[in-house]
Amino acid sequence: MGVSGTDAAKEASAMVLLDDDFATIVTAVREGRRLYDNIRRFVKYQLTTNSAEVLIIAVAPLLGLPIPLLPIHILWVNLLTDGLPGLALAAEPAEPGVMKRGPRAPGESIFAHGLGAHAVWVGVLMAGLAFAVEAFLVSDHDEHWRTMIFTVLVFTQMGHVLAIRSDTESLFSQGPLSNRPLAAAVAGMILLQLAAIYLPAFQRALKTHALTPKELALCAALSTIVFFAVEIEKWLKRRRALHASAS
């Protein structure tokens, strides 16, 4: 006990309660689990995005396609799209059943429970969407196809970061505003991407072209595929957990 305990007891203890309240242990464990979960979410988000970028750049030449993204596009994604929403994941509140879980093994890898597999298959899906856009539009004589791939990548990341707010719970049950910093970061990034597409100063710096409403709508529609794919993954996890608890 930090208040009533003796100095000798404090020196010999592995844990000192500064307020002499045993309930503080529960609060500390809950906060520790929340922080660890959010670190895993950040790692999942970064790994997925970067795996998609690597696949897009590395595989396109093997398929006989031009490089889909310019270096300035990669820089934009790494500095802004990866950074702001990723940092906002730190504000994610604890999941409802966080204290019902058993303690994790001390030697458990941060990639446990499917995190690594998730980063791979979602990264492949993101890259596949980019290649689909390029394969159908690269024959056009304008440069809209590269701007569309750039936009699809950014929009899919926004859908992905919203979907991974929980490993099991749907975004529709959580509510999009339960993490206001993340909601603001996603909205801000969408506005920045629109500025990158339509404002002349951004067009010159990022080598982008103004998309037609139809092209922008197509980018938005394709981007929802990643969001719903992750939501289906979480639904399958909930279904397996329900069957395991019933058996």
Question: Over the chain, what is the mean pLDDT?
Answer: 88
pTM metric for this prediction: 0.88
Q: In degrees rounded to 5, what are phi and psi of residue 187?
A: -60, -40
Tens of pLDDT, residue by residue over 190-238, are 999 999 999 999 999 999 999 999 999 999 999 999 999 999 999 998 8
Tell me the residue range of the domain where 118 lies. 40-93+113-246
83 phi, psi to nearest 5 deg:
-75, -60
CATH of the domain at 201: 1.20.1110.10
Inside any domain, residue 139: yes
Confidence of residue 139 (pLDDT cuts 50, 70, 90): low
In a domain, 142, yes or no: yes
Q: How far apart are CA 48 and CA 187, in angstroms?
A: 20
Give how many domains the chain has, as a whole number. Answer: 1
- What are the backbone dihedrals phi and psi of residue 179, each rounded to the nearest 5 degrees, phi first? -120, 90
* 31 assigned to some structural domain: no
Domain for residue 16, yes or no? no
Decide which of 17 and 52 is more confident: 52
Specify the length of the chain in residues. 247
What confidence score (pLDDT) does residue 102 get?
A: 82
Residue 38's pLDDT is 93
Average pLDDT (180-189) is 94
In a domain, 132, yes or no: yes
Residue 246: pLDDT over 80 = no
pLDDT beyond 80 at 244: no
* 119 located within any domain: yes
- pLDDT, mean of residues 64-88: 89
On whether residue 99 sits in a domain, the answer given is no
Q: Is residue 190 part of a domain?
A: yes
